[in-house]
Chains A and B, each alone.
Chain A
Amino acid sequence: MKIDSGDTAWVLASAALVMLMTPALGFFYGGLVRRKNVLSTIMHSFFILCLISVQWVLWGYSLAFGPDKFHLIGGLEWIGLNNVGFTPNPDYAPTIPHQAYMVFQMMFAVITPALISGAFAERQRFKAFVLFSLLWATFVYDPIAHWVWGAGGWLHNLGALDFAGGTVVHISSGVSALVAALVLGRRLGFGQQKSEPHDATMTILGACLLWFGWFGFNAGSAVAAGTLATSAFVVTNTATAMAALTWMTVSWYHKRQPSVLGAAAGAVAGLVAITPASGFVNVMGAIVIGFGAGVVCYAAIQLRERIHVDDALDVWAVHGVGGTWGALATGLFATIAINSGAANGLFYGNPKQVLIQLVAIGAAWGWSIIGTFVILKVVNQFVPLRVQEDEEVLGLDISQHGEPAYAL
């Protein structure tokens, strides 16, 4: 197999773009919390970047992409990157060094548990967060990644389509976020006092950096610098813009004002929803997916508020529901005119693809719920999940890290 320098350059650049998304997420979340918790919220993302970078090379990549065991998990043959060298792996990316593919996938594994941190913001004990993240990446993310993307994974064999991680990244993190929010309980004063974002500009900056990095996430998932990457890039931008416009319009109608934070949240919802479909749909499909994301994710937030679940930064509504919509929409709008190696969706004469997508969605929801619940209960046996009340009142920046964010 011959290494293609263009493909390698694109995938490495994409890995760097996706890496940027995790600190961007820290800024996106950091602006949304109160000023006494901004540093701890950013630390969640920064810490996970470090933690999963090590976990992935030690055993994560092997569990997710290693030689298949029972169609459920990768083997331990690639532990410590043993047998993962510079020769391309034809199962995953035949024109780039295997380690280039590994490091690209590492960045996906990094951002996924970081997404969950928005659900338990402002109240989770840092030590419990450390243990939870390591266990969750190992027992929830790695298996689901193997099912969908691993050679021999059962959803992969079934024909489930997930170009860049709607199921693997967003459903898993979004649903786990909901479970985490329910297990940890509400923040002090939730529903009685309004928790205003302390720096909306920080959140907008984070959203813009997420949008930028997402080009690596989706277009990079073509693992080649060619037509498919170009198509993924175009539909990613289109769906994101459409979702932002739609969310802003819906919130304008509902709240009587065009919300700036709403537009940013809408953009992220669009990015989430187009992720699984980005290598399979055309621009018209992307517009519908963006429109749907703006509507259903906004509605999910209204539902979440109505049932008084304190998913602090709406991870479930944006990532869980947005990812579910995107995975389903892939089964509706996929076309082999974009990706001849994939399958058509319902609107192109293949209704069976919708059923396959529903199976993948159900499996990701089910495993995420069970895995997250069990992990949280286990961690709670060793370290209390929540900080004490006085620590929560003081703020996590001081109580957990001993550092204020601002000296103003």
Chain B
Amino acid sequence: MDATTVIAVISCAIVFCGWLVLPHSATTVKPVVVSEEERTPVSVSA
């Protein structure tokens, strides 16, 4: 295995393993308020 391959493998390992420690979600998502009007099914016809 040559030096280029070793560096390439290390590069991939850094990126792929990095995903294991990254946050699942950064921001707290506020619950979306859905109005009654939006809850009502809409009938669509041509």
**Shortest Cβ distance from B1 into A: residue:** A284
B15 touches A246 (CB 8 A): yes
B23 touches A256 (CB 8 A): yes
Docked complex: B1-46 residues within 8 A CB-CB of A: 2-5, 7-8, 11-12, 14-15, 18-19, 22-23, 26-27
Question: Per-residue CB proximity of A290-302 to B under 8 Å, as 1/0?
Answer: 0100000000000
Per-residue interface assignment for chain A, residues 88 to 127, with 1 indicating a CB less than 8 Å from any chain B CB and 0 otherwise: 0000000000000000000000000000000000000000
Whether the Cβ atoms of A256 and B11 lie closer than 8 Å is no
Q: Mark A227-269, 1 if CB is under 8 A from B, else 0.
A: 0000000000000001001100100110111100000000000
* Dominant secondary structure of chain B at its interface with chain A: helix
Nearest chain-B residue to A253 (Cβ)? B22
Do A252 and B11 have beta carbons less than 8 Å apart?
Answer: no
Q: Find chain A residues with CB under 8 A from B12 CB.
A: 242, 287, 291
Residue on B nearest A285 in the bound complex, by CB = B4
Q: How far is the CB of A237 from chain B (nearest CB, A)?
A: 15
Chain B nearest Cβ from A112, distance in angstroms = 29
A residues contacting the other copy or chain, number (CB 8 A): 18
In the complex, which residues of chain A have a beta carbon less than 8 angstroms from the beta carbon of B14? 291
* Residues of B close to A282: CB separation below 8 A: 4
Knowing A255-B26, A256-B23, A287-B12 touch, does A249 contact B7 (C-beta < 8 A)? no
B3 nearest CB neighbor, chain A only: A347
Pair B11/A257 contact, Cβ less than 8 Å: no
| Shortest beta-carbon distance from A280 to chain B in Å | 12
With a cutoff of 8 Å between Cβ atoms, the chain B residues found around residue A291 in the complex are 8, 11-12, 14-15
Cβ-closest chain A residue relative to B19: A249
Check B4 against A284 for contact (C-beta < 8 Å).
yes
Q: Could you say which of A253, A258, A287 contacts B11, with CB atoms under 8 Å apart? A: A287
Q: How far is the CA of A282 from the CA of B7 in the complex (A)?
A: 13
Instruction: State which of A246, A252, A257, A287 has its C-beta within 8 Å of the C-beta of B8.
Output: A287
User: B15 touching A245 by the CB < 8 A rule?
Assistant: yes
Q: Answer yes or no: A333 CB below 8 A from chain B CBs.
A: yes
CB distance from B9 to the nearest CB of A (A): 8
Binary contact track A275-290/B, C-beta < 8 Å → 1, others 0: 0000000101101100
B15 to chain A, nearest CB (A): 5
When C-beta atoms are compared, the residue in chain A nearest to B27 turns out to be A257
Q: Which residues of B contact A284 (CB under 8 A)?
A: 2, 4-5, 7-8
Using an 8 Å CB-CB cutoff, how does the interface string of A332-345 with B read, 1 for contact, 0 for none?
01000000000000
Residues of B near A246 (CB, < 8 A) are 11, 15
B2 proximity list for chain A (CB < 8 A): 284, 347
CB-based nearest B residue for A291? B11
B25 CB, nearest partner CB in chain A, Å:
8
Most buried by B among A242, A253, A284: A284
> Do B26 and A347 touch (CB < 8 A)?
no
CA distance A256 to B15 in the complex (A): 15
A257–B25 alpha-carbon span in the complex (Å): 7
Q: Is the CB of A253 within 8 A of B18?
A: yes
Q: Is the CB of B18 within 8 A of A242?
A: no
Q: Which of B4, B5, B12, B19 has the most CB of A within 10 A?
A: B4
> Is the CB–CB distance between B15 and A288 below 8 Å?
no
List, in ascending order, chain A residues with CB within 8 A of B8's CB: 284-285, 287-288, 291
Q: Which residues of chain A have C-beta atoms less than 8 A from B7's C-beta?
A: 284, 288
The answer to whether A242 and B11 have CB atoms under 8 Å apart is yes
Given A253-B22, A257-B23, A333-B4, 6 additional A-B pairs, CB 8 A:
A246-B11, A249-B18, A256-B26, A257-B27, A285-B4, A287-B12
Could you write out 28 A-B pairs with CB less than 8 Å apart?
A: A242-B12, A242-B15, A245-B15, A246-B15, A249-B18, A249-B19, A249-B22, A252-B23, A253-B18, A253-B22, A256-B26, A257-B27, A258-B22, A284-B2, A284-B4, A284-B5, A284-B8, A287-B8, A287-B12, A288-B4, A288-B7, A288-B8, A291-B12, A291-B14, A291-B15, A347-B2, A347-B3, A347-B4
